[in-house]
Structure 1
Amino acid sequence: MVKRFYTLDDFDFGGKTVLLRVDFNSPVDLDSGRVSDDSRIRVHVTTFEELVGEGARVVVLAHQGRKGDPDFISLRQHTEILGDILGMSVGFVDDVFGEKAITAIKNLKNGEILVLENVRFTAEEKAKMPPEKLVETDFVRSLSGVADYYVNDAFSAAHRADASLVAFPQVLPAVAGRIMERDVKILDKVSKDPEKPAVYVLGGLKLEDTFAVIRHVLGNDISDRVLVTGLVANSYLLAKGYNLGEVNQSFIEKKGHLEYLSSAKEILAKFGDRIELPVDLAYDNEGKRIEIGLEDLPVEKPIKDIGSRTIEKYSHILQEAKTIVLNGPSGVFEEENFAAGTKMLFEAVAKSQAFSLVGGGHTTAALHRFKLETRISYSTVAGGAFITYISGEKLPAIEALKKSYEKYSK
């Protein structure tokens, strides 16, 4: 197999300063301002332990939230969480690339970790420039000047072209961390030459995300079938001509899906024979779950899950699969009465003999809620990057790793 990028196996990091880009972007309780789920911090443990074990001086680059959003906060508490997870003291500096940060980096000892402040606190992180221009920014010049290597373990951010993801590989040997390496390897397995029959399950809230995935996996015969659930399924049903009721159509409009209905119709016209839509739905009648067949629509109550006949139909298809890729819950799984679709499809995946991949933050949260993590072949917290990859599109951060390998391997 042709090597595409460096991994941690390619270098000895002992005594070297490593810029490690991770994805610490975590859910935050808006009342307390505290991180409410440490999954995205915990996932990087293997990479941290390897680098620290080799005696590297590890400088952490990460982001949290977006400017203007309530979860746009400091990484100070992420640092505390990381220290607790690793069982060691982890340093923090409330600076990204200024004198305070550079001095702290120079004072690092072998085997120590220093977390820099939220990289999105600096405007240069989101500057709209090509990588060759980003390397000229003070941000990149300052940090690359005190580092020996750059390691990217943030697959879940790999679809972005931010400075901390694409610029450093231009000026430093760039290496894939263990999560980056594993996620790419597994995604290649399921999206390039999967064992057949292959089934993709697409749910959640974003209708537009499904178009590129369906065109790629069905248009290139990567997948045999696509099962559609969640709000995207309701939107496809609307595109097919079903009247879901004013309350549900208003919700679909609120989510911005109406502008994509013409595209949904085109997808159904081209691939409809291999796209499975729900045959029944569950709606909320004052907290009570009521199921309704498509033949009995419309309904003037909120639809919150797929129905029992759909669950049975989809579960049977999943039992026959050899490869399963699942992204997005089937309904409002946080509510007990509307968790059945998500839970039972996950259980069908877990019971199957297929190689199964689950991706996306909400999807992995549901997996955790139903305690099925150990029965799935692989799960990734990546959402946008996951969708981009299985759509057959290039990810800027991975392309940057490839270019660095081509440059430095010579």
Structure 2
Amino acid sequence: MKTLDDFNFYDKTILVRADLNSEVDKGKLVFSERIKESAQTIFEIKRRGGKVIVMAHQGRKGEDDFTNLKQHAAYLNYYGKIKFVDDVVGKKAVDNIRKMKIGEVILLDNIRSIDEEFKPEKGKNNILIKTLVPLVDIYINDAFSVSHRKQTSIISFPKYIPSGIGRLFEKEIKALKKIDVKNTLFILGGAKPEDNLKLIRERNILTCGTFCHLTLIAKGFLLGAQNEYLKKEFNNYNEMVDEIKKNLDGVSTPVDFAVDYSNKRFEIELEKFPNEYRIYDIGSLTVSQYSSEIKKAKTIFFKGPSGMYTDKRFRFGTYKILQAISRSKAYSIIAGGHSNEALKACRISKNKFDYVSLSGGALISYLAGEKLPGLEALKE
């Protein structure tokens, strides 16, 4: 795969697929590391005389975090001048691209507002390809975090124009190549258990978050109110539990949990479940056991907080696990957007880990040995 070092960008029009997807709180975009990291590739190409068109997404249609990218442009302006164009493939977008001068940068609107982003099978007849390919000289994918998805902006452009990867994509690949999956301690938590299922066949896993609740259920434990919550929250609850049941060797689960009792953190051992309490964090005994395993590990991969770290009462588990990793001698990777936010909440420096990744699902897919469509497209 080609990197930025392999291209001459001077007076060329460059289409950069970035991942600017960030949290949205009551309509307001929350600044994220993704925006900061994406700026490196965008403004390097600008400095090298390119005309840069940035393409990105925010949320999904029908969800609360689906917004235009005007606020993203405002944040990117901290790093260099960028113009927001509230269009993707219409006359306004085309006119702005044609008028671009050397060193100018524009950000097109949310790529997911175009239905054909999800129809790459249309090939040359796809509106994104038909409109943008004639206007662009080089395509750069700097969105490793969505390269596990078969979407037009990820897999189609490399078929028609010279292509390569950006600095963030390059960093992710370099870090992942250092991981020996068979000798890695995986600490898997967070609120997206579907991603973690791909690594369930690995031998050494410490489960946290929603994933550990499902794993305990797969082992035959009843969690009461937490069981009922999970059934309502996940349409594929039964399928996930069945999949976990097939791969329980080497999978460790918590021995105690923290619940909300009279608005205070209260820890309950596993043997006292089922009960009427929702689970919000792992308990102190579990933290102690997991910390012992962390000390022995040579390579550690952490994805997903152990509990509701946004609530100070239930930040303890996430803080202690991250602290133990930061103090270990192991090669460590922290992965996923929520893991990044947890580091900030826990006030633990990113410098204490070998690599902190902004990717979640794509990174898991890569480690599970799956071929990433975005990566394969760039190899062709």
TM-score past 0.5 threshold: yes
Are 1:38 and 1:81, in contact at CA under 8 Å, matched by a contact in 2? no
How do 1:154-173 and structure 2 match up within 5 A?
A: 154-173=143-162
Are 2:145 and 2:359, in contact at CA under 8 Å, matched by a contact in 1? yes
CA distance 1:321–1:163, shift in 2 (3 Å):
same
Q: 2:97 aligns with which of 94, 105, 113?
A: 105
- Secondary structure at 1:44 match in 2: helix
Deviation at 1:244, TM superposition (A): 1.6
Aligned to 2:227: 249
- Secondary structure at 2:258 match in 1: strand
Distance 1:135 1:315 in 2: 53
% identical aligned pairs: 40
User: Which one-letter code corresponds to 1:102 in the other structure?
Assistant: V
Distance 1:321 1:301 in 2: 33
How do 1:5-20 and structure 2 match up within 5 A?
A: 5-20=1-16
User: Which one-letter code corresponds to 2:94 in the other structure?
Assistant: I
Q: In the alignment, does 2:62 pair up with 1:50?
A: no
User: Which one-letter code corresponds to 1:139 in the other structure?
Assistant: L
Aligned to 1:189: 178
TM-score (norm 2): 0.95
Q: In the alignment, does 2:247 pair up with 1:267?
A: yes
Q: Deviations over 1:43-90 (max 9, x none)?
A: 112212321111111011111121122222211221121112x1x321
Aligned to 1:221: none
Between 1:67-76 and 1:15-24, the stretch displaced more is 67-76
Q: In the alignment, does 2:185 pair up with 1:207?
A: no
Deviation at 1:254, TM superposition (A): 1.6
Aligned to 2:271: 295
TM-score (norm 1): 0.88
Distance 1:138 1:212 in 2: 34
Q: 2:85 aligns with which of 93, 114, 119?
A: 93
Q: In the alignment, does 2:64 pair up with 1:70?
A: yes
- Secondary structure at 1:43 match in 2: helix
Aligned length: 377
CA distance 1:248–1:138, shift in 2 (3 Å):
closer
Aligned to 2:339: 363
Distance 2:25 2:299 in 1: 36
Distance 1:359 1:375 in 2: 14
Q: Deviations over 1:25-46 (max 9, x none)?
A: 111122xx22122322111122
Aligned to 1:235: 214
Are 2:83 and 2:107, in contact at CA under 8 Å, matched by a contact in 1? yes
Distance 2:85 2:239 in 1: 45
Aligned to 1:28: 24
Deviation at 1:285, TM superposition (A): 0.8
- Secondary structure at 1:189 match in 2: coil
Are 2:137 and 2:161, in contact at CA under 8 Å, matched by a contact in 1? yes
Q: In the alignment, does 2:375 pair up with 1:381?
A: no
CA distance 1:138–1:205, shift in 2 (3 Å):
closer
Are 1:211 and 1:267, in contact at CA under 8 Å, matched by a contact in 2? no
What's the C-alpha RMSD, in Å, of the aligned pairs?
1.6
User: Which one-letter code corresponds to 1:201 in the other structure?
Assistant: I
Are 2:308 and 2:314, in contact at CA under 8 Å, matched by a contact in 1? yes
Distance 1:12 1:327 in 2: 37
Distance 1:95 1:349 in 2: 44
Are 1:201 and 1:228, in contact at CA under 8 Å, matched by a contact in 2? yes
Q: 1:153 aligns with which of 120, 125, 142?
A: 142
Deviation at 1:197, TM superposition (A): 4.6
- Secondary structure at 1:145 match in 2: helix
Distance 2:339 2:287 in 1: 17
User: Which one-letter code corresponds to 1:63 in the other structure?
Assistant: H
Q: In the alignment, does 2:53 pair up with 1:59?
A: yes
Q: Unaligned stretches of 5+ in structure 2?
A: none
